[in-house]
Amino acid sequence: MRAVLCKSFSGPEELQIGEIDEPKPTADEILIDVHAASVSFMDYLIVSGRYQMRPPTPFVPGTEGAGVVVAVGAKVTKFRPGDRVACGNWIGGFAERMVAKEWKSLLVPPDVDFETAATVGHNYGTAHYALVERAEAQPGETVFITGAAGGVGLAAVDLARHLGLRVIAGVGSDDKADLVRSYGAHDVINYRREDLRARINSATGKEGVDICFDNVGGAIFEQMARLMKWGGRLMPIGFTSEQIPSIPMNLPLLKNYSIVGVFAGAWAEKFSEQAARVNDRLMELLAGGKIRPHIDRVLPLDQVKQAMQAVADRTVQGRIVLKIR
């Protein structure tokens, strides 16, 4: 079968299209004809050797796809051949066929296309875990979301609006402001050209934010450590700046706020039944028009290098999707 191959951890430029044997599902897995696969910053980090895990090379990158079930393992009860599904795995998505655990897969409603379905699990799953499970966000609270026009960030804006939160969106360029406003942001801050402290104080009446959903890390996280509200929740989600921040621990002490780690992938592995229920709930919200994933562009599999480089360059709003079939 046709697939993208990563033979060394040297980034998108060294990716190749090749022919490999199709994977075989184990007892608790399904085999999928992949129609569409989304491209995430995590995919870029994995092929660049900058992620927490390094698969044995060569491997097929791609963490999220959607398509049609071809075969199921002996212990699978939820799916059967012919079902339309979205699924996730640490690797394997940028290929004509991939395998996924039963609990990491979900049925796609009939009126949802594969390109959209391929963008839900990671983006909205992370946002839901952070805001609902970890922050226990309440209607009326204020959340500041960094990297707000990216895949996970925009999903967080969208879901926060659905949850009744007041959203302050942080972006790195002015051309992203209209998109995040259209998804429900009350205020937009360009932290590359504006004074973040002054803008947060102005937007919150100097009270600070209840929740900080930080995708960026580095200096922004360090600044937000001084801009939290009493009893707030400061959440590291990821480090797209590629700088892991450090903060003085007297800051959370003085305002009794919490630093709440969010690693949705690890949570899903450890609590698979809960994660599966969340995935099903997200598909219900999608089918009902309560959330609306944004696709920046759809590219053919042959343009995987360009797709991944665009993600690395932060020129993508929402998600890029590869069309496999």
50 touches 107 (CB < 8 A) = no
Query: Is pLDDT at 242 greater than 90 in this prediction?
Result: no
Mean pLDDT across 145-168: 97
pLDDT, one tens digit per residue, over 50-106 is 888 899 999 999 999 999 999 999 999 999 999 999 999 999 999 999 999 999 999
65 touches 29 (CB < 8 A) = no
To which residue do tokens 């959209």 refer? 116
Domains of the chain plus CATH, in order, are 2-119+293-323 (3.90.180.10), 123-265 (3.40.50.720)
Three-class DSSP category at 160: helix
Q: What pTM did the predictor assign?
A: 0.92
pLDDT, one tens digit per residue, over 96-142 is 999 999 999 999 999 999 999 999 999 999 999 999 999 999 999 99
Residue 270's pLDDT band (cuts 50, 70, 90): very high
Residue 241's pLDDT band (cuts 50, 70, 90): confident
Residue 264's pLDDT band (cuts 50, 70, 90): very high
Residue 206's pLDDT band (cuts 50, 70, 90): very high
Mean pLDDT across 43-47: 95
What is the rounded CA–CA span in Å between residue 185 and residue 279? 24
What is the rounded CA–CA span in Å between residue 144 and residue 53? 29
Residue 27: CB atoms within 10 A of its CB come to 10
Mean predicted lDDT score pLDDT of the chain: 95
Three-class DSSP category at 16: strand
